[in-house]
Amino acid sequence: MAFLPVTRKEMEERGWKEPDFVYISGDAYVDHPSFGAAIITRVLENAGFTVCMVAQPDWKSTEDFCRFGKPRLAFLVSSGNIDSMVNHYTVAKKRRSTDAYSPGGQGGLRPDRAVIVYCNKIREAYKDATIIIGGIEASLRRLSHYDYWDNKVRRSILLDSSADLLLYGMGEHQIVEMAEALDSGLPVEELTYLRGSVFKTKDPSRAYDAITLPPFRAVKEQKSAYAESFMLQYQNTDAVTAKALLEEYDEYFVVQNPPSPPLTTEEMDHTYALPYERTYHPMYEAAGGIPAIEEVKFSLTSNRGCFGSCNFCALTFHQGRVISARSHASLVAEAEQMTKEKDFKGYIHDVGGPTANFRQPACKKQRKFGACKDRQCLFPTACSQLRVDHKDYVALLRKLRAIPKVKKVFIRSGIRYDYLIYDKDDTFFRELCQYHISGQLKVAPEHVSPRVLEKMGKPGRDVYDRFVEKYHKVNEKLGMKQFLVPYLMSSHPGSDLRAAIELAEYLRDLHHMPEQVQDFYPTPGTLSTAMYYLEFDPRTGEKVYVPKSPHEKAMQRALMQYAMPRNYDLVKEALLKAHRADLIGYGRHCLIPPQKPEEKPSFGKAGGKGNGKPSGKGNPKGDNRQKSAAKQKESSKKTIRNVHKKKRDVH
């Protein structure tokens, strides 16, 4: 099976006078099932529809949008695998210079707010064209939402884009239902019944059994109305329990139908068995290809959905909390196909999804009754109904390891360490360490402060400490020297300077200095973003401290990398502001010396022989904690286990 037509000549060579659909994508054209555009277009093709691809069109004219003429049924528009604003800007709102989803990693090949811009260009070329929008950018902006880049509440993207219909979520069910309805002659205005869709109407009675949200005029002006609206959206994301939502605007009512059900195992198997080319289009070869394919080309998508429900993650809004998983046979078949590719080196890079070690719904009732509206599966503690079982995942990984030509099967998707530590059977823990990591495992405790973890929806530090201790015991028993790299986040709602210093002290005792620091990024659709905007928790009305000024955010980031000389002034300012001058000095408990060091400091071992005083006059080089930068990483690794065995209290 060839790539979809990308030129009019290629379309005509297939004998098509016009395509049924033209897909407009903000990403370069990569026909691999890790890319949403590839899945949707192949699903449509499998259903008997003709589809042409326009990837990264020039939005400064209408020429690219007219490449195939007006499609018989509709234009399909997506910004790509990532929201275009996240793709373009750092959390500091600085323009990124590269784009992994573009040829050669080149930046600037898609516009800001790509869905809106593309749709407006289509309207300029074809005023009466049917336009359907989808993908992550449309999905998370389907109703009123706080927009970090504009720092205001924006209305539904369905209205701003002038599209006719929005499909949210993963989309396989509703894309075919939509296509068949249009093909039957039903006008797009009548597609008001599709699950997983959002439509606009001037007649609110077309919303069946709907919950009425506060009107947009109130939501954009009153934080209390925004909080009410957000919580109603947040509580209606489950395919079983969700109701339709009705939101009033000046010119239209926008109606969100309940989500489409998650794919069954058989449906997932079918979707991933479609004839993907599994790489980028050859037209990008001269530019160096598409960087984003490198990590996923030899990876396997094992599951969808996540019942972890971290508050800063939008997955609940997009994929839902109920897990769908592919069969072993499907995954083994795809892995065997990988081994036949000429550039396969014997390594499967990942077997996972949003959370790698979730292969089944959290409890037996979720498929029939849906996920609970008023409680989480893992937070603040594990639900009594939670099924903790890695047997299926272990069996799958064993089959993949046994495939000829496969040297190693890695797990690089996120591992929920709390779910893992709750498993009384150590088989997966042991085999994870023995076969599926290479030297280090990355996990995401995110923070250590209880008040920050509560706002994140993450388990307490005690759970992470139990995991760390067990991880080292398992590796020690296996005779392996492997380390943990914790992902940590600064400036999340709830994190004041005291919490940031608490995290810095934890890093000090762990002898770990993150190479990169993740600052909280307020993106549409998350509970954490709502707290960022509201400065209170929409669930309880409780006031939440939110670091918003660039300077305070810089101090919190600097505290996570306090030993870097470039951060010295910010760290000192933060410590003095928080009345923690006790952490300035030469003692082993101190974060920084009284004077800015000339060279990058590092650490010695916990409990080392240094006396806590500088060996030279005003020269911090003599301090036992401070070693060369080249030795820092190795020193950090050697001390992690000792620190946790001693269970030092950093509070």
DSSP 508-571: HHHT---SS-EEP---TT-HHHHHHHHSB-TTT--B-----SHHHHHHHHHHHTTTSGGGHHHH
* Domain-embedded: residue 506: no
- Angle (CA) 420-425-431 rounded to 5° is 70
Look up residue 56 and give its two tokens. 């990264």
Q: What is the pLDDT of residue 637?
A: 40
Based on the fold, state whether residues 23 and 170 are members of the same structural domain.
Answer: yes
Based on the fold, state whether residues 168 and 304 are members of the same structural domain.
Answer: no
Domain boundary residue, one of 193, 217, 238? 193
Looking up residue 348, the CATH number of its domain turns out to be: 3.30.750
Lowest mean pLDDT among 454-468, 479-493, 624-638: 624-638
| C-alpha to C-alpha distance for 457 and 452, rounded to whole angstroms | 9
Q: Is 266 exposed, middle or buried (0-12, 13-18, 19+ CB in 10 A)?
A: exposed
Give Cβ neighbours of residue 101 (< 8 Å, ≥ 6 apart).
26, 27, 28, 30, 80, 81, 82, 87, 290, 291, 292
Q: What is the pLDDT of residue 603?
A: 46
DSSP symbols for 48-96: T--EEEEES--TTSSTGGGTT-S-SSEEEEE--SS-HHHHHB-TT-PBP
Residue 651 in this model has a pLDDT that exceeds 50: no
Single-letter amino acid, residue 435: Y
| C-alpha to C-alpha distance for 472 and 638, rounded to whole angstroms | 12
| C-alpha to C-alpha distance for 325 and 304, rounded to whole angstroms | 6
Query: How do residues 103-126 score in pLDDT, each as one tens digit?
Result: 999 999 999 999 999 999 999 999
Based on the fold, state whether residues 33 and 175 are members of the same structural domain.
Answer: yes
Based on the fold, state whether residues 187 and 303 are members of the same structural domain.
Answer: no
In 115-216, where do the E strands start and end? 131-133, 145-147, 152-154, 165-167, 197-201, 210-212
Q: What is the pLDDT of residue 599?
A: 56
* Domain-embedded: residue 137: yes
- Angle (CA) 592-502-462 rounded to 5° is 135
* Domain-embedded: residue 504: no
pLDDT-derived band of residue 438, with 50, 70 and 90 as boundaries?
confident
Based on the fold, state whether residues 188 and 302 are members of the same structural domain.
Answer: no
Based on the fold, state whether residues 177 and 306 are members of the same structural domain.
Answer: no
| C-alpha to C-alpha distance for 84 and 112, rounded to whole angstroms | 6
Domain boundary residue, one of 414, 445, 462? 414
Based on the fold, state whether residues 302 and 170 are members of the same structural domain.
Answer: no
| C-alpha to C-alpha distance for 455 and 495, rounded to whole angstroms | 9
Query: How do residues 509-520 score in pLDDT, each as one tens digit?
Result: 988 888 878 999
- Angle (CA) 220-223-227 rounded to 5° is 100
Q: How far lies 160's CA from each of 138, 204, 512, in Å?
A: 11, 20, 46
| C-alpha to C-alpha distance for 567 and 587, rounded to whole angstroms | 19
345: nearest Cα among 287, 294, 396, 273: 294
Query: How do residues 327-372 score in pLDDT, each as one tens digit?
Result: 999 999 999 999 999 999 999 999 999 999 999 999 989 988 999 9
Q: What is the pLDDT of residue 638?
A: 40
Instruction: Give the residue-averaged pLDDT of 289-315.
Output: 94
Rounded mean pLDDT of the chain? 91
Q: Decide: helix, strand or coil at residue 145.
A: strand
* Domain-embedded: residue 182: yes
Based on the fold, state whether residues 182 and 305 are members of the same structural domain.
Answer: no
Q: How far lies 561's CA from each of 73, 517, 555, 565, in Å?
A: 54, 8, 10, 9
Instruction: Give the residue-averaged pLDDT of 441-453.
Output: 95
Residue 20 in this model has a pLDDT that exceeds 50: yes
Based on the fold, state whether residues 166 and 20 are members of the same structural domain.
Answer: yes
Residue 242 in this model has a pLDDT that exceeds 50: yes
pLDDT-derived band of residue 549, with 50, 70 and 90 as boundaries?
very high
CB 327 within 8 A of CB 265: yes
Q: What is the 3-state secondary structure (H, E, C) of 274-290?
A: CCCCCEECHHHHHHCCC
* Domain-embedded: residue 534: no
Query: How do residues 589-640 score in pLDDT, each as one tens digit?
Result: 999 999 988 755 544 333 333 333 333 333 333 333 333 333 434 434 443 3
| C-alpha to C-alpha distance for 479 and 461, rounded to whole angstroms | 27
* Domain-embedded: residue 127: yes
Domain boundary residue, one of 149, 178, 193? 193
Instruction: Give the residue-averaged pLDDT of 401-418.
Output: 95
Look up residue 49 and give its two tokens. 């529809």
Residue 429 sits at φ, ψ, to 5 deg, of -55, -45
* Count of Cβ atoms closer than 10 Å to residue 513 Cβ: 20
DSSP symbols for 569-613: HHHHHHHHHTT-GGGBSSSTT-SB-SS--SS------TT-S--SS
Looking up residue 93, the CATH number of its domain turns out to be: 3.40.50.2300
Q: What is the pLDDT of residue 204?
A: 95
Residue 253 in this model has a pLDDT that exceeds 90: yes
Count of domains for the chain: 2
Based on the fold, state whether residues 70 and 185 are members of the same structural domain.
Answer: yes
Domain span at residue 127 reads: 8-193
Q: What is the CA radius of gyration of the chain?
A: 26
* Domain-embedded: residue 623: no
Based on the fold, state whether residues 177 and 321 are members of the same structural domain.
Answer: no
**Which is more confident, 490 or 517?**
490
* Domain-embedded: residue 273: no
pLDDT-derived band of residue 454, with 50, 70 and 90 as boundaries?
very high
| C-alpha to C-alpha distance for 82 and 95, rounded to whole angstroms | 15
Maximum separation of any 2 CA atoms in the chain, in Å: 86
Query: How do residues 150-170 score in pLDDT, each as one tens digit?
Result: 999 999 999 999 999 999 999
pLDDT-derived band of residue 1, with 50, 70 and 90 as boundaries?
low
- Please list the helix, strand and coil fractions of the chain in percent, rounded to the nearest 5, in that order: 35, 15, 50
